[in-house]
């Protein structure tokens, strides 16, 4: 049986290789928007805050942005996650991740935008670079999440319908199949 996700080695913005699928762990492959995206930054901070729980569940985080590595580095240097640049949107096309005006126009995304803007203003006051005025790849990207098994099977997927429509950490953890040692 051919795996749903062919094995590949991606390069992080820090220059390290990262395997997708991982040979031993589940991979949470996240597709985010652009470098400096306030909603993406807010979401990734929630991931970082619970990274111990995520890793204990056997999940490796890989985050893809449709920006260049150069544009991403100022915003992701302090993230303990594998961040991958995909400015040509090669992975986005392969996984069917889209852009749409509804990313920002859907009222269900507005609370996330409001929280993110407040948090981003605080971060900028502390010295973090401000989000770009004209982001590389545009502002209309939609988020997507995939949970990929070591054999390449996609165990779960979510294509977001607005900017804030992605798995929470609790939703992600609820998707993890029981391991043999947990069943005993």
For residue 18, give the DSSP letter: E
The set of residues, in sequence order, having a beta carbon less than 8 Å from that of 135 and lying 6+ positions away, is 33, 34, 35, 36, 37, 67
Q: Report the distance separating Cα 160 and Cα 142, nearest Å.
A: 6
Say yes or no to pLDDT of 182 above 90: no
pLDDT at 50: 97
pLDDT tens digits, one per residue of 62-92: 999 999 999 999 988 889 999 999 999 999 9
pTM over 0.95: no
The average confidence (pLDDT) of the chain is 86
Higher pLDDT: 50 or 180? It is 50
| pLDDT recorded at residue 184 | 41
How confident is the model at residue 3, as a pLDDT? 54
- 42: phi then psi, degrees, rounded to nearest 5: -60, -45
What's the distance, CA 97 to chain centroid?
12
- Domains, the chain, in order of start with CATH, read 18-174 (3.40.30.10)
Instruction: Output the six-digit token pair for 21.
Output: 């699928």
């Amino acid at each position: 049986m051919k795996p749903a996700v062919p094995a590949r080695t991606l390069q992080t913005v820090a220059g390290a290789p990262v395997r997708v699928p991982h040979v031993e762990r589940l991979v949470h492959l996240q597709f985010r928007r652009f470098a400096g995206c306030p909603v993406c930054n807010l979401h990734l901070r929630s991931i970082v805050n619970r990274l111990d729980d995520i890793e204990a569940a056997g999940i490796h985080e890989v985050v893809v942005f449709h920006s260049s590595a150069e544009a991403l580095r100022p915003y992701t240097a302090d993230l303990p996650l594998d961040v991958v640049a995909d400015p040509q949107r090669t992975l986005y096309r392969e996984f069917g991740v889209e852009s749409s005006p509804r990313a920002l126009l859907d009222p269900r995304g507005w609370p996330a935008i409001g929280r993110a803007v407040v948090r981003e203003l605080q971060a900028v006051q502390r010295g973090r670079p401000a989000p770009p005025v004209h982001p590389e790849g545009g502002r209309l990207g939609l988020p997507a999440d995939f949970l990929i098994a070591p054999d390449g099977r996609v165990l779960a997927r979510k294509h977001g319908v607005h900017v804030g429509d992605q798995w929470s950490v609790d939703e992600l953890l609820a998707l993890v199949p029981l391991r043999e040692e947990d069943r005993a």
